[in-house]
Amino acid sequence: MREIILDTETTGLDPSQGDRIVEIGCLELVNRLPSGETFHVYINPQRAMSAEAEAVHGISDAFLADKPKFADIAEGFLEFIGTDPLVIHNAAFDMKFLNAELGHVGRASLEANPIIDTLAMARKRFPGAPASLDALCRRFGV
């Protein structure tokens, strides 16, 4: 069984307002264990980074200036994830951005991939408790 753990970083919070992906990181699991296969790329968003986003992830416009555009990495990204399940914390956020980026380059949205949202799982398992990645890492000693 193959699954892909996926996370993105962005220029802001809303792709409909022009915000873009600046980083994609993926880790392949086979039978729930890391296989050692990864996909990681920084992306030139072709727009300025918001100060708020840079404060969160520390990725600057200057750092991204010479990085590839999403169109340049889309094929490799799609090949890496295939149609396997995607494990994402706050999946609605990442999927909204990924599907917007795919739309910009004329590709179909990621409807073939089953989505496992660890934020939804955490909220169901621990109602009322903090469910951020940091909170979950503390809870599980990671």
CATH number at residue 106: 3.30.420.10
Q: Whole domain around residue 100: which residue ranges? A: 2-140
Residues 87-141: pLDDT tens digits? 999 999 999 999 999 999 999 999 999 999 999 999 999 999 999 999 999 999 9
Residues 52-76: pLDDT tens digits? 999 999 999 999 999 999 999 999 9
DSSP string for residues in 7-48: EEEESSS-GGGT--EEEEEEEEEETTEEEEEEEEEE---SSP
* Domains: count for the chain: 1
| Structural contact between residues 117 and 91, judged by C-beta atoms closer than 8 angstroms | yes
**What is the reported pTM?**
0.96
Closest by Cα among 95, 75, 76 to 85: 95
